[in-house]
Amino acid sequence: MGFPGTWMTTSESVVYRVVPKCACSTIGQIMYYSDHGEFFDGDIHDAKGGMHKWALDESQARIAANVKSHQSYAFTCVRNPYTRILSSFFDKICGIQRNGKRYRGKLVPLLVQKYGIEVGGDDGKQEFDQIASFRRFLLFARDTIRWRRPMEPDIHWSAMSGHVSTFIVNGGTYDRIFWTEKFNDGMQDVLSAIETPHEVDLKAIPRFNESEGHGPKRAHPVEDYFDDLSMHLVFEIYKQDFELFKYDFANPASKMPTGEIDLEEVHAKLGE
């Protein structure tokens, strides 16, 4: 299986396991800048050079050799499951993508038909019941993850622990896992632990949120989207994410982690 979703700087200063919807655009641009002294012109996910990616055939041997021998500092970044699944809904389901089309073509019409989900107009301005539609989307997300129907689970709403685990199962070791909610502290720890061709001043780095503006704005506080049933579904899908990455399941309004991530526990439980 190798190391899907793994990026590495061309200088091999650092290795990163991408977790979708967890600041991956900003992290990728920081890695690119640390090698080249400039940002990639465009969405870093589209870059076909200037960085090693597992999705590029020519990068796989370099990444595999590095990760298996733990030559470079390796890290990833995680996010509160409540805000992550909400972000996935507004970006991927309600939003228009970079190519000017709906995400995954026929996905949204399928959701409208089978789950009664509304997504607003193509301009993102049409009013719709965000809370009701999101809760129906949660049912769909649960169905894809638990029963793999009506489609396979998508990387943007499949559990973070699943992404994080492939790196471990196939022979990788993390030196750091940090939270998007404490991004500057975590990213600075990574930068302080490695040597890069170009120095990165984290305070001067813009945030690259490639999904921003794709869809309608969230109209309510996070906690308004989650009633008892919604919380039950979220826990069913993301139980391990809450436990391993120390987020508060009981209170959707509390997005900050409640304790420190235990790397030994993560490696033990996700390496099985």
Rounded to an integer, the average pLDDT of 223-245 is: 97
pLDDT tops 90 at residue 124: no
Rounded to an integer, the average pLDDT of 37-63 is: 96
Rounded to an integer, the average pLDDT of 35-48 is: 95
Confidence of residue 231 (pLDDT cuts 50, 70, 90): very high
Comparing 28 with 216, the larger pLDDT belongs to 28
**What is the C-alpha to C-alpha distance for residues 254 and 234, in angstroms, rounded to an integer?**
15
- What does the pLDDT read at residue 41? 94
**What is the C-alpha to C-alpha distance for residues 235 and 226, in angstroms, rounded to an integer?**
11
Query: Residues near 237 by Cβ (< 8 Å), separated by ≥ 6?
Result: 81, 85, 141, 142, 145, 146, 159
Long-range Cβ contact pairs of 33-42 (< 8 A, separation 24 or more): 33/198, 33/200, 33/205, 34/9, 34/191, 34/196, 34/197, 34/198, 34/200, 35/9, 35/10, 35/11, 35/196, 35/197, 35/198, 36/197, 36/198, 37/197, 37/198, 39/208
- What does the pLDDT read at residue 141? 96
Residue 126 tokens, joined: 């049409």
Query: Residues near 74 by Cβ (< 8 Å), separated by ≥ 6?
Result: 14, 15, 16, 17, 67, 167, 172, 173, 174, 175, 176
Rounded to an integer, the average pLDDT of 128-150 is: 94
Confidence of residue 123 (pLDDT cuts 50, 70, 90): low
pLDDT tops 80 at residue 214: no
pLDDT tops 90 at residue 194: yes
Confidence of residue 216 (pLDDT cuts 50, 70, 90): confident
- What does the pLDDT read at residue 126? 67
pLDDT of 177-193, one tens digit each? 999 999 999 999 999 99
pLDDT tops 70 at residue 228: yes
Rounded to an integer, the average pLDDT of 234-243 is: 97
Do the Cβ atoms of 164 and 177 come closer than 8 Å? yes
Residue spans per domain, the chain: 1-98+155-218+239-271
- Model pTM? 0.94
Query: Residues near 183 by Cβ (< 8 Å), separated by ≥ 6?
Result: 23, 26, 77
| pLDDT cut 90: percent of the chain above it | 83
- What does the pLDDT read at residue 9? 98
**What is the C-alpha to C-alpha distance for residues 53 and 74, in angstroms, rounded to an integer?**
14
pLDDT of 55-106, one tens digit each? 999 999 999 999 999 999 999 999 999 999 999 999 999 988 878 888 888 8
- What does the pLDDT read at residue 99? 81
**What is the C-alpha to C-alpha distance for residues 103 and 1, in angstroms, rounded to an integer?**
26
Residues written for the chain = 272
pLDDT tops 80 at residue 261: yes
Query: Residues near 1 by Cβ (< 8 Å), separated by ≥ 6?
Result: 166, 169, 170
Rounded to an integer, the average pLDDT of 229-244 is: 97
Rounded to an integer, the average pLDDT of 112-129 is: 80
| Average pLDDT over the chain, rounded to an integer | 94
